[in-house]
Amino acid sequence: MKTMILTNVPCFAIFSVAFSQLIATLGFAPATRASSLVPPSNEYAIEFHPPENRGAPDVAVGGATRCLPQFTPLVPHDFSKDYGDLSSPHFGLTVRPNPTFFVSLDSRKIQEIYFEIYEYDTEERGNDGDLVYETSREFNGLERRQQGAIGINLPPDVTLESGKLYRWYLDAVTGGDAVEVVSDSGWIERVEVSPDLGWQLITAKTPLDRAQVYAEAGIWHDAFDILARERRLDDTRELKEEWEELLTSAGFPEHLAKTPLLDRGGDRRSEPR
């Protein structure tokens, strides 16, 4: 990430106050139709840069969960450690107190999903702490039609604290003749917005600019959430290409990178800056 140098600023305190206000309000801006914000094709290349010196805790053991192709959390694997032949756990950063988790699933085969998130107890090394939030979702009717991505939103009254690790679990119940439960899990950490990152977000002109800033800073959840929100507003070819580019750069295979967004109505909260 390039460091931006402020020039001709009469008083750094002015920026500090503005920056503090941005963080205090989470920097939300009114949602704008994506069609007016999407630049010409190939102007962007939103690529994910794994965060430095951040990852799943040392006690994490890859390959501890059992998954099926029709059920995949859209969170990158931990790039900070070498897990050898084991599958590395999912890990992602956020700056938001209530981020959105995305999962790709085949709603023709998945009957219901369960989501739980816990505080991670670093003192007990591996044991989950207090339950933060849990929810479930059933798939029926028109919703049960194809493979695609859905979002699981943490509600406004659920707050992840900065500097803390959290462990999340996703369980999916398959339908059909043989009912089966498949599972996956991972970690999320909420981090503070640095002055440099805050300045880049303030000066970013469009949601795609902000997604690019987050992706380059290794902050997965917020970069991906912006693209999902823009696709809900206007699912253009350019937005699909950026979605695929971001997923591919994070190591997801092509068939997952091309997964459609099933949540067309979606949560219309203002997108994160």
3-state secondary structure 59-91: CCCCCCCCCCCCEEECCCECCCCCCCCCCCCEE
∠ CA 219-120-257 to the nearest 5 degrees? Answer: 35
Q: Which of 23-32, 125-134, 212-221 has the highest mean pLDDT?
A: 212-221
Condensed to tens digits (0 to 9), the pLDDT of residues 158-195 reads: 999 998 999 999 999 887 667 788 889 999 999 999 99
Rounded Cα gap, residues 74 and 170, in angstroms: 11
Task: Reply yes or no on whether the pLDDT at 269 is more than 70.
Answer: no
Rounded Cα gap, residues 30 and 265, in angstroms: 17
∠ CA 133-94-252 to the nearest 5 degrees? Answer: 100
Task: Reply yes or no on whether the pLDDT at 210 is more than 50.
Answer: yes
Condensed to tens digits (0 to 9), the pLDDT of residues 246-255 reads: 999 999 999 8
Average pLDDT over residues 215-235: 94
Query: Of the candidates 253, 251, 208, which has an alpha carbon nearest to the alpha carbon of residue 231?
Result: 208
Task: Reply yes or no on whether the pLDDT at 117 is more than 50.
Answer: yes
In this prediction, residue 73 carries a pLDDT of 94
CB-based burial of residue 53 (10 Å sphere; 0-12 exposed, 13-18 middle, 19+ buried)? exposed
Condensed to tens digits (0 to 9), the pLDDT of residues 27-84 reads: 333 333 333 344 333 455 899 999 988 888 876 655 445 556 678 999 999 988 887 7
The pTM assigned to this predicted structure is 0.78
Q: Residues 6 or more apart from 177 whose CB is under 8 A from it?
A: none
In this prediction, residue 194 carries a pLDDT of 93
Which bin fits 70, alpha (ψ -120 to 50), beta or left (φ > 0)? alpha
In this prediction, residue 70 carries a pLDDT of 75
Query: Which CATH architecture group holds 65-257?
Result: Sandwich (2.60)
Q: What single DSSP character describes residue 234? A: -
Residues 9 and 255: beta-carbon distance below 8 Å = no
The three-state secondary structure class of 93 is: strand
196 pairs with which residues across the strands? Answer: none
* pLDDT band of 8, cuts 50, 70, 90: very low
Residue pointed to by tokens 């981090």: 191
HEC profile of 116-171: EEEEECCCCCCCEEEEEEEEEEECCHHHCCCEEEEEEECCCCCCCCECCEEEEEEE
Average the pLDDT over each of 24-38, 89-103, 230-244, 245-259 and give the range with the smallest value: 24-38
**Structure token pair of residue 101:** 């988790």
Q: Return the half-sphere exposure (C-beta side, CA atoms, 13 A cut-off) of residue 42.
A: 0
∠ CA 51-55-57 to the nearest 5 degrees? Answer: 165
The residue ranges of every structural domain in the chain are 65-257
Q: Return the half-sphere exposure (C-beta side, CA atoms, 13 A cut-off) of residue 43.
A: 10
Q: Residues 6 or more apart from 7 whose CB is under 8 A from it?
A: none
Task: Reply yes or no on whether the pLDDT at 216 is more than 70.
Answer: yes
* pLDDT band of 108, cuts 50, 70, 90: confident
Q: Which residues of 173-196 are buried (b: 16+ CB within 10 A; e: fewer)?
A: bbbeeeeeebebbbbbbbbebeee
Rounded Cα gap, residues 184 and 74, in angstroms: 11
Task: Reply yes or no on whether the pLDDT at 125 is more than 80.
Answer: no
